[in-house]
Structure 1
C-alpha cells in the first residue's frame, strides 16, 4: 500500500485541529465501515461537510473525494486538494473521466466519498428552494460497477461556530438490481434510497420533515 504523503499527514492534523475548534463533531457508527472498498454517501448541507466527515475517519482510511470542478480553478488550492485525495467532477455533465477515477479508487483498494445530491442543499434539511433534495444516479452506477460497500452518512444540516455537529455512519446498504449493471431506473432508485437512508439516520426524510 502506498504510504501517506507528508502533506496529507500535515493537513490532517493541522486542519483537523482548526475544524475541531470551529466545528466540533460527535461521531457514531464507525464500526459500520469496512476496512476498504467503502462508498460513503452523505447528505450535503454545507461546504464544511467533506472536511468534517473525512477528519473523523482514521488517518489511514485512504478516502478519495469527488469534488466540484470549480474548486480546482485556483492552482494552489487544486494542488492541495489533489494531495489530500480529491479529484474534480463537472456537475451537470456526464463526466466520464471523473467516474473512471472514482471506479479506479475503489478497485485499487481505497475508499470514496460522494455526495449523492451533487450540490449543497442549503434551504432546510433535505430541501432546496422549497423542493425535496434529489439524488444523482451516478453514485449508484459507481457503487454497482465496483461492488463497493455503500454506506449512508448523515451530517447535521445547520453548522454554527463552536456548536457540535452530528456525523452518523449507517450500516451498509445493499443495492438490488437486475442483470450485470442494472437498468437506469434501478440506478436512480438505488441513489434515491441511499440518500433517504442517510437522512433517516438523523431522523429526517428527504423532504426535510422529521420521521
Structure 2
C-alpha cells in the first residue's frame, strides 16, 4: 500500500489528542480487524462518527470514506477532507462515479468506511416523523463486487462532551448470494443483516425505538 500522506498524519495526531479529551472513546474488537481490503459498515448517529472512527484506527490504516457531496462545496473544507481520504457521494441518486471510486479504493488494498443508513439517524424520543433505521444496499454491492472483507461497526448514538463513546468492531461478515454478483434482493438482505449485526454489537435492535432521520 502507498504511504500515508504527511497532512493526514499531522491531523490524525493533533485531532486525535484533542478528541481523547473532549470526546473520549472505548474501542473493542480492534485487534481482530483485518488490515487491508476492508469495508467497514457502520451505523450513523452523529456527524462525529467518521472523525472518532478515523482517529481510533491505526494511523497507517489507509482509511477512505464516502461523504455527502454538500461537504465538498466549500473549497477549503473539500480540499481538507479529500486529503484525509474522503470522496463525495450524491445521496439519493445512482452516483456511478462514487461507486467506481469505492471499488478502486478496495481493489488497491486500502480500506473504506461506509455508513449503511446513508445519513445520520439520531435517537429521537417523541419526534413527529420517527423513521426506522434502514440499510442502503450499495455497500453490499460494493463489497460483493470487490470481494472486500465486510465488517460491522457500532458507534454509540449519544455524543456528550467528556463522556465516553463506545466503538465496537465485529467479526467479518460472510455474504451469501447467487451467481457472480447476486440479485438486488440478496444485496438488500446482506445490507440489512450487516446493519442488524452492527446494532447488535451495541446491544440494540434496528428500529427498536423511535428514530429521527436528518
Q: Match of 2:165?
A: 165
Q: Match of 2:192?
A: 192
Over 6 Å off, 4+ runs: none
- Separation in structure 1 between the aligned mates of residue 60 and residue 162 of structure 2, nearest angstrom: 27
Q: Match of 1:119?
A: 119
- Separation in structure 1 between the aligned mates of residue 37 and residue 3 of structure 2, nearest angstrom: 18
Q: Match of 2:57?
A: 57
Q: Match of 2:37?
A: 37
Q: Match of 1:183?
A: 183
Deviations 1:51-99 (A, max 9, x none): 1111110000101000110110100100000101000000000000000
Does residue 66 of structure 2 align to residue 105 of structure 1? no
Displacement of 1:180: 0.2
**Do 2:173 and 2:194's aligned partners in 1 also have CA atoms closer than 8 Å?**
yes
- Separation in structure 2 between the aligned mates of residue 112 and residue 42 of structure 1, nearest angstrom: 11
Gaps of 5+ in 2: 210-214
- Separation in structure 2 between the aligned mates of residue 128 and residue 54 of structure 1, nearest angstrom: 33
- Separation in structure 1 between the aligned mates of residue 75 and residue 194 of structure 2, nearest angstrom: 34
Displacement of 1:44: 0.3
Q: Match of 1:95?
A: 95
Displacement of 1:128: 9.7
Q: Match of 2:212?
A: none
Q: Secondary structure of the equivalent of 1:132? A: coil
**Do 1:122 and 1:128's aligned partners in 2 also have CA atoms closer than 8 Å?**
no
Q: Match of 2:4?
A: 4
Displacement of 1:4: 1.6
Q: Match of 2:132?
A: 132
Q: TM-score, normalised by structure 1?
A: 0.95
Displacement of 1:208: 3.0
